[in-house]
Amino acid sequence: MSAPIAVIDTGICNLRSVTKALEAVGAAPVVVRTPAELDSSGAEGLVLPGVGALRDCVFSLRSSGLDASVREWIRLDRPFLGVCLGMQALFEQSEEGGVKGLGILPGRVVRFVLPAPYKVPHMGWNTVRFAQPDSPLREGLEDEGESFYFVHSYHCVPSDRSLVLAECDYGSPFVAAVGRGRVFATQFHPEKSQAKGLKVYRNFAASAAAPLIR
């Protein structure tokens, strides 16, 4: 049986579609809402999904105490996947209401400023270019030409370019995913991205099941 993968319920995330996607790739998702539930879950991987407003996502994490749990999980390089707001929450600051993020990754979150005919939010399918050829999250995915589903008005600008796992173009290039060790985050929604998205979840589940070699 697959090792459990904890999925944080912030109250504003697409919880059902994420857990269904994990189940579809043979993973065993466990929904957690408190640090105690995470500690008792036996999870080998942790997923932070989110839709809506970043302020609400970060407030939920801080109110439950799971912000500290996420920091410690990532500090230990345990398998982590942030999705959409779950990616934005990792950074230091956002232009969306001046929200302070968790400050785990250096950089900020900014709103798209685009010429016509580009519209905000960026919504729909778009092509992603992967970097980091050795990243386990993109195993079996092409360097260029893979399409994923996006819904967002803000995008992340890492201070450290080595974090960039994937980029996409919408008016100009923006960061579509970040990665460091076994910590990953995507601006796109793998659970809404059909077969390629399931491949991302399958790769993450495999990373969670693999022993950490130091």
**Residue 189 known to be catalytic:** yes
Whole-number Å distance between alpha carbons of 55 and 60: 9
Q: Which of 37, 44, 146, 191 is catalytic?
A: 191
CA atoms of 18 and 36, how far apart (whole Å): 21
Say if CB 186 and CB 81 are below 8 A apart.
yes
3-state helix, strand, coil in the chain (%, to 5): 30, 30, 35
The Cα angle at residue 73 between residues 26 and 204, in degrees rounded to 5 = 25
122, 152, 155, 189: which is the annotated catalytic residue? 189
Catalytic: which of 13, 84, 156, 168? Answer: 84
Q: Please name which of 70, 76, 60 lies closest in space to residue 90, comparing C-alpha atoms.
A: 70
Report the catalytic residues: 84, 189, 191
